[in-house]
Amino acid sequence: MRLLMLGGTEFVGRAVVEAALARGWEVTVFHRGRHDAPAGVTSLHGDRTADDGLAALSASDAEWDVVVDTWSGAPSVVRDAARVLAGRAGRYVYVSSGSVYRYPGVAGSDESYPVVEGDADARSVAYAEDKRGGELAAVAEFGAERVVLARAGLILGPYENIGRLPWWLNRVARGGPVLAPGPRELDLQYIDVRDLAEWVLDAGFSGLHGAYNIVSPIAHTTMGEFLEACVAVAGADDVELRWTDPSVIADAGIEPWMELPVWLPPGELHDTMHRSSTEKAGA
């Protein structure tokens, strides 16, 4: 299999590339060159936001079985890349987000739940609308039968460049008393970036199309198990988790999710990416 990864040097893109290489796939990585690509890939350089940013892709005579795209900004950037590649690639897998669903959501809802408005030709507006516009752009250029929309939930794992899991690992590594937002048994739902990468490759290989929610089951783990795992991995000898009632945290003016990553108070739906248009779940 021949994979073209748009991005591929950080977080989700990096995980996809490493998983593809482990399968023996032939991998091309299109990126800006700010970070080294994994060994064993063919690198093409370009800035997708520049006027001539896709020149290296346009000039290449290569063809690919699967394209994977994690873009989280302006939908028009997805449109332009997909337009260049539509005649040279078999399938387009766009790593989208559960944030495309209208807020507030309903626990247990599926891919038929209403989504936000999006525009394939738009500049960047806000995270949810950008991801929806990216979906529409991919479908417009490749056709619905050749596009997989991987609507990921909260993504955690290696190479994260957002500041969720690393924030907690760094905090417990410093030791001492650590504010642990309660309750300890609060349900936590996420997707490991390595599992997401494997699913993305399987979807491209098997010829899936359409939208799929990619996240662990509800109550997959708890906030307590999550923070205790962080302590086990990176905690100092004197670290102490101090479980704190959500009302105390609210009274202190601490913002859930943004100032205490991963955590939302009980009863508050995981309106994750709607909270900030600057947080990116992708490349």
198 and 102, same domain (yes or no): yes
What pLDDT does 281 receive?
38
Q: Is residue 226 part of a domain?
A: yes
Q: Is residue 128 part of a domain?
A: yes
135 and 246, same domain (yes or no): no
Expressed as residue numbers, the domain containing 261 is: 165-188+219-275
What confidence tens digit (pLDDT) does each residue in 40-73 have? 999 999 999 999 999 999 999 999 999 999 999 9
Q: Is residue 238 part of a domain?
A: yes
Q: Is residue 232 part of a domain?
A: yes
The owner of tokens 């900030």 is 276
56 and 112, same domain (yes or no): yes
Q: Is residue 280 part of a domain?
A: no
**Interatomic CA distance for residues 74 and 126, integer angstroms:** 9
52 and 184, same domain (yes or no): no
0.85 exceeded by pTM: yes
225 and 266, same domain (yes or no): yes
**Interatomic CA distance for residues 26 and 65, integer angstroms:** 10
For residues 39-70, one letter each, b for 16 or more C-beta atoms within 10 angstroms of the residue's C-beta and e for the rest, the string is eebebbebebeeeebbeebeebeeebebbbbb
57 and 75, same domain (yes or no): yes
pLDDT beneath 50, residues of the chain: 271-283
**Interatomic CA distance for residues 274 and 151, integer angstroms:** 14
Task: Please give the helix or strand (H or E) that residue 131 lies within, else none.
Answer: helix 127-142
Q: Is residue 242 part of a domain?
A: yes
Contact 68, 16 (CB under 8 A): yes
146 and 174, same domain (yes or no): no
123 and 183, same domain (yes or no): no
232 and 258, same domain (yes or no): yes
Residue 116's domain is classified under what CATH number? 3.40.50.720
Sequence-ordered list of residues with C-beta below 8 angstroms from that of 37, at least 6 positions apart, any chain: 8, 9, 17, 29, 31, 43
Domain count of the fold of the chain = 2
Q: Sheet containing 2-6: which strands, arranged edge to edge? A: 42-45, 26-31, 2-6, 64-69, 89-97, 147-152, 210-214
116 and 84, same domain (yes or no): yes
150 and 225, same domain (yes or no): no
120 and 141, same domain (yes or no): yes
What pLDDT does 107 receive?
81
Q: Is residue 282 part of a domain?
A: no
Q: Is residue 281 part of a domain?
A: no
